[in-house]
Structure 1
Amino acid sequence: MPMETCIFDAYGTLFDVTSAAREAASEDGFEALSDHWRQVARDWREKQLQYTWLRAVTDDHADFHKVTGDALDWALEAAGLDDPALRDRLMQLYGELVAYPDVTEALQALKDAGRATGILSNGSPEMLQEAVASAGIGRLLDHVLSVESVGVYKPSFKVYDMVGRAFGGQRRDVLYVSANGWDAAAAAGYGFTSVWVNRAGQPMERLPWTPAHVLSDLSGIPDLAASI
């Protein structure tokens, strides 16, 4: 039976989280970043995720904008970059992250096939609204769901519960797509039919659950949704 509901993680799955640092490094006035942008992008993302997990397990929630700013501060200090203007520009660019080239085509194919689509993300509503508008994909999404509705970050099952409330149906009938291996694994543990979009060619996470499918990008999602 085809999957009628297809849910996507946002950051790293639809939106390229390295694009903010890459773009800033090419701009006048931020030449100091040019030799460090890859390190900054990597550290920024790693700390961002770590802080969401730590806040979740300690029950000390702050929205994703706060967490993203804290992670950026750590990454810039680690790179020896003390420039308030650079920080401001990077935070601005994070709201305008570049969508991966395969995003619009995959979402369009799903909508053309009559499938329901949505985002389930750690991002705050404002951040997600900005990113979706910047990418021009709002018309291709039925719901954009933020963890702010439940006040805890993934992989809490409270987050995955939001999909059923918004779309209805059974867990197994949701195709859940994430480029974050831990997220795809946790979604499988929750009961979704999960897909890990392994963009970086990483090893499988050593967790109790395994995604049902592994792809290298989003181009195969429409056919997969039709064939399951």
Structure 2
Amino acid sequence: MPLLPPLDGARAVVFDAYGTLLDVHSAVQRHAAAVGPDARSLSDTWRQKQLEYSWVLSLCGRYAPFWALTERALDYALARHPGVDRGVRSALLEAYRVLDAYAEVPRTLAALRAAGLRTAILSNGDAAMLDAALRAAALQDHLDAVLSVDPAGVFKTSPRAYDLVPERLGVGVSETAFVSSNRWDVAGAAAYGFAPVWVNRAGLPDEYPDLAPVRVIDRLDALLG
């Protein structure tokens, strides 16, 4: 398989998990009937607060497992949407443990490995979250490594989080393509020195012009040319 830039010069392709390989909105979608008309708004608030909490803790020099932030963020989202029955909380959290993978993910990962590239995840998710999600999506066999930021004790976009990739994979920073649907994560990867690819599924406007991706795609299998 011919590889397109930046993969043609890479030895490893590292993916963000939540939002990139796994659909973070699929948890609420599964229970949309029980949640009601506020389903999309609830899901957006849940995700927004989950990420906000990670950034605030990192800037404060503090850390908590990502699952704890996921629970806190859902509680906030439910409080902001009082019309949603709080009895759905347990079902939503359970669904978040086993999020749906985007349809093209298994084929893309398999093709990249077949082309001789190492594939890995670097995620804010803690190890238990990632293990449950990857088992549910049957993705484990397509990955050479699954890295949580837990050992660094800080969330992305701290350079200490990205340090885990060369330390654990033994691949040079300049030889690593980093793929994320989160523009802030792409900015962090660019600042660190990876070759970042932005999966812009929603067609969002660009941000962080000084920390640009080397490539923008709208779905993962666009990596395959």
Which TM-score bucket, shorter chain as reference? Answer: over 0.9
2 CA distance for matches of 1:177 and 1:206?
Answer: 16
- Structure 1 runs of 4+ aligned residues shifted over 6 Å read none
| Other-structure match for 1:25 | 32
2:179 partner amino acid = V
Tell me the TM-score normalized by structure 1.
0.92
1 CA distance for matches of 2:114 and 2:215?
Answer: 23
| Other-structure match for 2:20 | 13
2 CA distance for matches of 1:89 and 1:125?
Answer: 21
2 CA distance for matches of 1:151 and 1:83?
Answer: 35
| Aligned 1:168-183 pairs, distance under 5 A | 168-183=170-185
1 CA distance for matches of 2:96 and 2:221?
Answer: 24
Structure 1 unmatched ranges of 5 or more: 224-228
| Aligned 1:29-108 pairs, distance under 5 A | 30=34, 33-81=35-83, 83-108=85-110
Structure 1 residues 89-114: Cα deviation after superposition (integer angstroms, max 9, x where no partner)? 11000001000011011001011112
1:2 is displaced (CA, Å) by 3.3
| Other-structure match for 1:199 | 201
Structure 1 residues 59-91: Cα deviation after superposition (integer angstroms, max 9, x where no partner)? 121100100000001111111146443111110
Paired residue secondary structure (1:118): strand
Is 1:221 paired with 2:223?
yes
2 CA distance for matches of 1:114 and 1:196?
Answer: 22
Tell me the TM-score normalized by structure 2.
0.93
Paired residue secondary structure (1:6): strand
Paired residue secondary structure (2:110): helix
Say which of 11, 18, 33 aligns to 1:4: 11
| Other-structure match for 1:185 | 187
2 CA distance for matches of 1:191 and 1:81?
Answer: 45
- What is the total number of aligned residue pairs between the two structures? 218
1:180 is displaced (CA, Å) by 0.2
Greater displacement, 213-222 / 171-180: 213-222
2:10 partner amino acid = M
User: What RMSD over aligned residues (CA atoms) do the two structures have, in Å?
Assistant: 1.2
8 Å contact kept, 2:196–2:215: yes
Q: Could you tell me the percent identity over the aligned residues?
A: 40
8 Å contact kept, 2:187–2:208: no
8 Å contact kept, 2:38–2:84: no
2:145 partner amino acid = H
